[in-house]
Amino acid sequence: MTIHRPAAVVVLAAGEGTRMKSAVPKVLHAIGGRTLLGHAIKAAEGLEPEHLAVVVRHKRELVAAHVSQVAPQAVVADQDEVKGTGRAAECGLEKLPADLSGTVVVTYGDVPMLASETLAALVAEHETNGNGVTVMTAHVPDPHGYGRILRDETGAVTGIVEQKDATAEQALITEINSGIYAFDGELLRSALSQVGTDNAQGEKYLTDVLAIARDRGRRVAAHVIDDLWQTEGVNDRVQLARMGAELNRRVCEKWMRQGVTIIDPASTWIDVDVVIGVDTIIRPNVQLLGETTIGADATVGPEATISDSAVGDGTHVRRCEIDAATIGSAVTVGPYVQIRAGSDIPDGTAITSFTTHPHITDQQENCR
C-alpha cells in the first residue's frame, strides 16, 4: 500500500484510567513488552507523519517522560481543565504549527492492537475520497459503552451519538465509533472552536465535529474494519489481560508462519520486539522478553526466560534464566542455570546444572 503521509497524528493519552485501580497511569501499563502508549505511538510512527503530538494530563510528568523516551521527536501537549476528547484534540493541535494543513489523524493511547497498516488504509480512504472527516468504525455484538454511528436513509454518516446521550432506538445500533479519525486539518481546527459542552457529560466531544463538517457541506464517511481487536481499548486489568493474550497469540502465529516451531503457543510468551531465526524450536513454558534475538536452528525450553539477550545459531537453552547477556552459537545452557546481565558466552560453551554466571568472556566453561 502506498503511504499517504499525514500532516500530523495526535495521540490522546490524558485520561485518568480509574478502573485500572493503579498508581501507574493506564497508558503506561504494558502488554507484549511495550506500554499501551508505546503501541499507539509505534502505530502512529508507521504513517511517517510530519508531526506527532501526544496529549497528556493525568500523572503528566510520568507520561511525558515516557513519550520522550520512546518518541523523542514527538511534542507533548497538556490538556487543561476543560474535559473531553474534543478539548484534548484541540490542545494537541495548539502545539502544532498554526498553518498546518492536510490530514490529521486522531487516535488513543490505550488502543494497543491498532496497526499502522489499518491507519494507513484509513488515511488512504480519507484522502482518495476528499472527505472532511473519516471515522473508523466496526460492527460489534455488544455496543454498550461505545458511541453509535448514525446514518441516513442513503447510508451516509450523519453523526455519532455517545452512549449517555443515545435514545432507546439509537442504543440498538451495533456500528460503533472506534474513536479513531482522519480529519481535514483546517476543518478540525476551526470546527473545534465551535464545539461546546452542552451534553450529558458536560464535555467537549470530538464527535461533534462531524455534524459541523456536514453543516459546512463537507463529506463525512466511515472506514469500517472487521478486526474488532484493533478498535478495543483497555479500561481495566481484565481487558489488559485479554488484550495481552490475544496479542501474544498473534505474535506466536506470526513466528510459526515464518518458520519457527512453537510446541505449545498457550504457554509461550513472546514480546513484540523479539526476533527468532528459522527452524528454531520453542518448547513449552518459555518467555522471550524485551529485545531478545534468537538465532536459527536453536532450541529454547522447556522452562526458560530470556530477557534482552542475544542467543546464537544452533544454541540449546533449557530450564534457565538469561538476562541482558550474549550467548554464542552452538552453546548448551542448562538445566538450572542463571546467566546474569553483561555475560558473554563464547561459541561452543557448555554450561549445565545449578550454576550462576555473572560474566564469562575469556574461556569456555564446562560445569557439570
Q: Do 331 and 347 meet the contact criterion of CB atoms below 8 Å apart?
A: yes
Which of helix, strand or coil describes residue 278?
Answer: coil
Distances (CA, A) of 199 to 60, 166, 208: 27, 11, 10
How far is Cα 286 from Cα 163, in angstroms, rounded to an integer? 42
Q: Do 192 and 209 meet the contact criterion of CB atoms below 8 Å apart?
A: yes
> Is 19 a residue of the active site?
yes
Write out the three cell numbers for 236: 481495566
Q: Which residues contact 5 (CB under 8 A, 6 or more apart)?
A: 47, 48, 49, 50
Nearest by Cα to 243 from 255, 227, 263, 259 = 227
Which of 212-219's residues contact partners 24+ apart within 8 Å by CB, and which partners? 213/132, 213/133, 213/187, 214/158, 214/159, 216/132, 216/187, 216/191, 218/131, 218/132, 218/133, 218/184, 218/187, 219/129, 219/130, 219/131, 219/132, 219/133
Helical residues (DSSP H) of 216-258, grouped into ranges: 237-257
Sign of CA dihedral 147, 13, 46, 113: negative
Catalytic one among 19, 216, 249, 250?
Answer: 19
Catalytic residues: 19
